[in-house]
Structure 1
Amino acid sequence: MRVSSKKLRNSAQGQDCTVCMPGTCNHNPETTVLAHLPCGQKGMGMKGFDTVAVYACSACHDVIDGRAAGEVDWSDMPRAIAETHESLILSGILTVKGAA
């Protein structure tokens, strides 16, 4: 089962980049997209789950996807995922059954 949501993907529009790679990030919310992170469900022509994604500006997204040179600090991605999920939860787009 693949988790795919147009609402999740569209939610990135106008958001701050949660990745913020030093020396790479353009800090421009107008370029932010929901960038899928590498996981078992990702491959050539195949995106991972929309829940395994972060808000990324175009510059950070290009590095994550390998279209641009740069170093991804993968140990920082849980923070970026948490910030993205927090934004999605606060906006009511992502909900957790039974959460208070």
Structure 2
Amino acid sequence: MKIVSKKLRDSARGQSCTLRLPGCGHDDGTVVLAHLPCGQKGTGMKGPDQIAIFACHHCHQIVDGPNRWEVPAADYLRALAETQLIWVQMGLITIKGAA
């Protein structure tokens, strides 16, 4: 199931970059929702919105560029976990039975 959510996409506005690669703009006002490379993403196709991170312009260019596979998977996973925790705090993702 591909999830498309305006609320998730809009949630990146005003956030800090969760990827933080060398040269990162952190919270320079360019942060958007960047879809991570996964089996459901390709040229002209975005992956599902829940498999995305907050990325500044610099980091987003890398995620969408030819060198995206040079980023260690651990960095993508950390950024995804941080982004999803922010969504839980914002009430955009809920986990049934979570305390």
Same fold per superposition (TM over 0.5): yes
SS in 2 for 1:30: coil
- The answer as to 2:73 corresponding to 1:74 is yes
Aligned residue type for 1:60: C
> 1:41 matched to which residue of 2?
40
Tell me whether 7-16 or 39-48 shows the greater mean CA deviation: 39-48
> 1:90 matched to which residue of 2?
89
Structure 2 Cα separation of the partners of residues 52 and 97 of structure 1? 19
Structure 1 Cα separation of the partners of residues 43 and 75 of structure 2? 24
- Cα 1:14–1:45 change in 2 (3 A) is same
Q: Deviations over 1:29-69 (max 9, x none)?
A: 41111100011111111110111111100110001100789
**1:87 positional shift:** 0.5
Structure 1 runs (4+) deviating above 4 angstroms are none
Identity of aligned residues (%): 54
> 2:18 matched to which residue of 1?
18
Structure 2 Cα separation of the partners of residues 90 and 98 of structure 1? 15
TM-score, reference length from structure 1: 0.88
> 1:30 matched to which residue of 2?
29
Unaligned 5+ segments in structure 1 are: none
